[in-house]
Amino acid sequence: MATKIDDERLNVRIGDAAVPGAVAGDQDEGSALVLTSEQVWQALAKASFAVLSYVTPRGEPRSSGVVYKTVGRHLYVVVAAESWKAKHVVASGRVAVTVPVRRGGILSLVVPIPPATISLHGTAIVHVADSPRLHPLLEELKSLLPPDRRASGSVIEIVPEGTFVTYGVGVSLMNMRDPAAAGGRVSVTQGRSTG
């Protein structure tokens, strides 16, 4: 099946959505597409699963799969108030997050195509679910925190810092084979990737 590529704009995709503003001159053979912080945030907003990594009070690394939601420039995860995640994250206040971004569309049903990834680190704040600080966000978080879980849940608010590290985001499937072309870094707050 052939794909038509416009000379002016590349048919660049993040998951199932086109990357706005991806210009043909932004990508050449052997170099990564120039991504912006906004494009990475858009990809984060479309995904919902992440791997949350943290360190236990004994200094042991842990990772857990979580469902999250972005609100503004923060990620929110709901966990049981007495869970290990809530206890360990509150102890250090630091986390790393990796979000797999599905690639390949229908082709991925036939051929094993690895997901693209967005990785970040940041500060994590654990709130009791009925915290007054969260009241303005309850409507946006209702898919993660229905009313019947508000008494028994905790919300981990993740504030990304520094740079996003991306792999395969906004590059063709063929270019994912080349680490130099597939990898990128972009400031969490603004700017373009450094490739």
Per-residue pLDDT of the chain (195 residues; tens, 9 = 90+): 333 333 223 333 444 444 433 332 334 444 445 789 999 999 999 999 999 999 999 999 999 999 999 999 999 999 988 899 989 999 999 999 999 998 877 877 887 778 899 999 999 999 988 888 888 888 888 888 888 877 788 999 999 999 999 999 988 888 888 888 889 999 998 544 445
pLDDT of residue 105: 78
pLDDT of residue 35: 86
CA–CA distance, 66 with 158 (Å, rounded to integer): 12
pLDDT of residue 190: 57
Strand partners, 120: 97
Amino acid occupying residue 49: F
Domain ranges of the chain: 13-187
pLDDT of residue 33: 57
Q: Which CATH number fits domain 13-187: 3.30.590.10, 2.30.110.10, 3.30.1380.10, 2.60.40.10?
A: 2.30.110.10
Helices (H) and strands (E) in the chain, counts: 3, 9
For residue 158, what are the contacts with CB-CB under 8 A and spacing of at least 6?
68, 74, 75, 76, 77, 95, 97, 122, 123, 124
Sign of the CA dihedral 145, 127, 133, 97? Answer: negative
- The helix/strand/coil state of 50 is strand
Task: Please choose, from the candidates 170, 134, 164, 174, the residue with its C-alpha nearest in 3D space to the C-alpha of residue 150.
Answer: 134
CA–CA distance, 154 with 169 (Å, rounded to integer): 31
